[in-house]
Chains A and B, each alone.
Chain A
């Protein structure tokens, strides 16, 4: 059986499972649609939260980000887990005690103002819609890759699948489907990781292998030291190298942490458990299931990085990096263990070209002068080729000759393995593309694992993308049907009418998300930074003040949210373009141009501080919240008396 058929069987089986669960758990009331009737046991809720939380980006891209970013990209590991501590300690138990369905509903009641609720709805929609665009793009790409269809077809299939179970199942259907999706994705992630760890370090647990000895040298050298040595030999920054900008690293980590705790689709998960104490422990279980992937990710990333590097420099495995020649193209085409190179070349995630025609692929990090010299040479060559037939070519030919001389001077200067590039006949790095995603996707093939493991990774990637998209769509639809329609436009809507409105909103949200995924504004990565920054600067502070302050009133909360929303968006737009329109940015998005070295992704905590400062200053000048709100605050602070959630 070929790999494609195997993929189809495993993916088909997993979908059949999701649909079966969705049918069994379909929602019959708004309480089931919005919060699964508060009937989800904490362990299961933790698993569903983990699947909801871990997107295609966590599953497919994060290990690659860490592999190539090294220590600097630890921000994702700490940032996307540390937020759960904030949720468990500062938000989840009190919001569960509050006992309603949505985040804006809490803001509206606690700050006794429909305006505050609507500002929260706006923040929620901006956050969730920007976040869902990235997910829909991920769904399209993942389906396209594994089902061998176009990205557009992949996107449509993915939307249809989400539609089927999210619209009918609501939170209840989504939650139980996510439990199944979690199991699929975690098995798919850990099996290759265990094999690769056994291969490289002899340790069964990747977390131990990561800090253990490197097996091919008999374990005398630590794995991480080996990795550092090999990548620095090739001119890359060491994997464990220190950060160059500690302030920025600190702020990005903080932004991701408080952004995580402020993401509406994560917060609403804690409305689904039966008791306040369950909300606390449920955050713990969510982190257990997240940690199963997140503590393995650095091992997967670093080990895959070493594997890729030693594949292209076979001498690096048990000796010096340059003790054997680079991998030859003949070897790639004849060695059955290396068929993955040609397979992934077809997808465009991996690309190589034998620039100097020596039949071997030399992989290294081109030093900056060489990159510049090669760029100048390519430009001069192109100018000559593009010149009109009757133009005077002499100056253009002189320019090419000059650029060639300049480039050759750089080659004579630049070193690789103690010799100049010119002496070795190397003209540039020949492994031109190594996409981050390949670290997870090609892992089973690189480690020569059986076909069913590869198919399982495909199903895992799809599960991760679908579960997150569904959770986000639910947050969007409940904000529309519950906060906007029932909360403001038509408070007298019947239970049945609201459930129908919820389903229509969900369908509308899916169509919108699909359309945005089809026409992505071309900034998926930046958009995620915006979503976290905004969640950090708006939702998280307003919820914190709602619970921990008895003094902040509606004027303060509204002003604070608006200040957080505007300052954070403006700072991001200054560097990435107004509303992400390319070319409209005021400053270039480079570390030198960032104010105080703070990147747009790091602005969230500063927006949060501005939010809180504004709220306190405005509150000091306005009236304290009325008595019934004081009573509400006292009531959410104690677990006793938490009942089923009620609509109103």
Chain B
């Protein structure tokens, strides 16, 4: 039974990290890159407006950081719950 509780806690922790990551994923691509672009046209990254830059370059950089940070956090959670390989 203890084993099952631990597995549930591990899964809950994983879901929480996934949820936060997916919000960031959505905001930097669909949010900044598409939906909010007109509203943020006054902010610039070099020669591009913020939304344009996120749509063509910025979102990809965020995706990269997101995956590596997720992998690192999950390795920690795996160890904390004793479920690592």
Residues on A lying within 8 angstroms of B by beta carbon are 66, 71, 74, 77-78, 81-82, 84-86, 88-90, 93, 207-208, 210-213, 222-225, 240, 242-243, 246, 249-250, 253-254, 257, 275-277, 280-281, 283-284, 287-288, 291, 294-295, 298, 634, 637-642
Q: A242-B38, A291-B60 are in contact. Are A89 and B21 (CB under 8 A)?
A: yes
Report whether A277 and B84 are in contact in the complex, using a CB–CB cutoff of 8 Å: yes
Contact (Cβ within 8 A) A254 B10: no
How many angstroms from the CA of A66 to the CA of B21 in the assembled complex?
Answer: 28
Contact assessment for A78 and B59 in the assembled complex, using a CB-CB cutoff below 8 Å: yes
> Whose C-beta in chain A lies nearest to the C-beta of B24?
A85
A637 to chain B, nearest CB (A): 5
A222 and B78 in contact, given A82-B29, A638-B7 (Cβ under 8 angstroms): no
B23-63 interface mask toward A, CB cutoff 8 Å, 1 = contact, 0 = none? 00100011001110110000001111100110111011101
Contact of B21 among A85, A242, A246, A253 (CB under 8 A): A85
A429 to B56 CA separation, bound complex (whole angstroms): 30
Which residue on B lies nearest to A207, using beta carbons? B57
Q: A640–B47 contact, CB under 8 A?
A: no
Q: B74 and A277: CB pair below 8 A?
A: yes
CB contact between A84 and one of B38, B47, B49, B63 (< 8 Å): that residue: B63
Partner of B46, one of A89, A212, A242, A640: A212
Scoring B34, B35, B45, B74 by chain A CB atoms within 10 A of each residue's CB, the highest score goes to B34
Q: Which 10 A-B pairs have the closest CB atoms?
A: A222-B47, A211-B46, A74-B55, A284-B67, A280-B71, A224-B47, A298-B56, A640-B83, A638-B83, A88-B67
Name the distance in Å between A250's Cβ and chain B's nearest Cβ.
Answer: 5
Chain B residue nearest in CB terms to A635: B7
- Contact (A211, B60) CB under 8 Å given A82-B25, A88-B71, A638-B7: no
B37 & A242 in contact (Cβ 8 Å cutoff): yes
Q: Give 7 CB contacts A-B under 8 Å.
A: A85-B66, A207-B57, A224-B48, A240-B49, A249-B34, A287-B67, A291-B61
Q: Is the CB of A82 within 8 A of B63?
A: yes
**Inter-chain contact A634/B7, CB cutoff 8 Å:** yes
Q: Give the nearest-CB partner of A301 in chain B.
A: B56
Contacts of A86 in B (CB 8 A): 25
Residues of A within 8 A of B59 (CB): 77-78, 81-82
In the complex the two chains form, what is the Cα distance from A256 to B50 in whole Å? 22
In the complex, what residue of chain A is closest to B6 when comparing beta carbons? A638
Known: A71-B55, A246-B34. 17 other contacts (CB 8 A): A71-B52, A77-B57, A78-B59, A78-B60, A89-B70, A211-B47, A212-B46, A213-B47, A225-B47, A240-B48, A240-B49, A242-B38, A253-B30, A280-B74, A287-B60, A295-B61, A639-B85
Contact size range, B:
35 or more
Question: Chain A: interface secondary structure?
Answer: helix
Contact (A277, B75) CB under 8 Å given A89-B21, A253-B29, A638-B10: yes
Q: Which of B22, B68, B82 has the most CB of A within 10 A?
A: B68
Query: Is there an interface contact between A211 and B48, defined as CB atoms closer than 8 Å?
Result: yes
CB distance from A254 to the nearest CB of B (A): 7
Contact B57 A298 (CB under 8 A): yes
B85 to chain A, nearest CB (A): 5
Residues in B with CB closer than 8 Å to A284 are: 64, 67-68, 71
By beta carbon, the residue of chain B nearest A634 is: B7
Q: Closest approach, in angstroms, between the C-beta of B57 and any C-beta of chain A?
A: 5
Chain B, Cβ-Cβ closest to A296: B57
Of B7, B25, B38, the contact of A637 (CB 8 Å cutoff): B7
In the bound complex, how far is the Cα of B49 from the Cα of A212, in angstroms? Answer: 12
Q: Which B residue's beta carbon lies closest to that of A213? A: B47
Contacts of B37 in A (CB 8 A): 242
CB–CB A640/B84 < 8 A: yes
Cβ-neighbour of B34 out of A213, A222, A243, A298 (below 8 A): A243
- The reply to whether A291 and B85 form a contact with Cβ atoms under 8 Å apart is no
Verify A277–B67 contact, CB threshold 8 A. no
Q: How far apart are the CA atoms of A637 and B18 in the complex, in Å?
A: 13
**Which A residue's beta carbon lies closest to that of B22?**
A89
The complex places the Cα of A208 from the Cα of B22 at a distance, in Å, of 28
User: Chain B residues with Cβ under 8 A from A637's Cβ?
Assistant: 7, 10-11, 14
Contact at A90–B83, with CB atoms within 8 Å?
A: no
Instruction: Report the minimum CB–CB distance from B28 to chain A (whole Å).
Output: 9
**A77 touches which one: B49, B55, B71 (CB < 8 A)?**
B55
Residues of A within 8 A of B53 (CB): 211
**A223–B29 touching, CB < 8 Å:** no
- In Å, the complex CA distance between A297 and B34 comes to 19
Q: Which residue of B lies closest to A249 (CB)?
A: B34
Give the shortest distance, in Å, between A303 (CB) and chain B (any CB): 13
In the complex the two chains form, is A253's CB within 8 Å of B34's CB? yes
Contact A295-B60, Cβ < 8 Å, known A71-B52, A211-B48: yes
Q: Which residue of A lies closest to B78 (CB)?
A: A639
Would A639 and B47 count as touching, CB distance under 8 A? no
Contact check, B83 vs A281: say whether CB atoms are below 8 A apart. Answer: no
Closest approach, in angstroms, between the C-beta of A268 and any C-beta of chain B?
19
Q: Known: A212-B47, A288-B64. Contact between A277 and B71, CB under 8 A?
A: yes
Contacts of A642 in B (CB 8 A): 85
Q: Are B85 and A281 in contact (CB-based, < 8 A)?
A: no
Chain B contacts for A222, CB-based, 8 A: 46-47
Chain B nearest CB, measured from A64 CB (Å): 15
A211-B46, A224-B48, A639-B83 known; A294 vs B60 contact (CB < 8 Å): yes
The CA of A382 and the CA of B76, in the complex, are separated in Å by 74
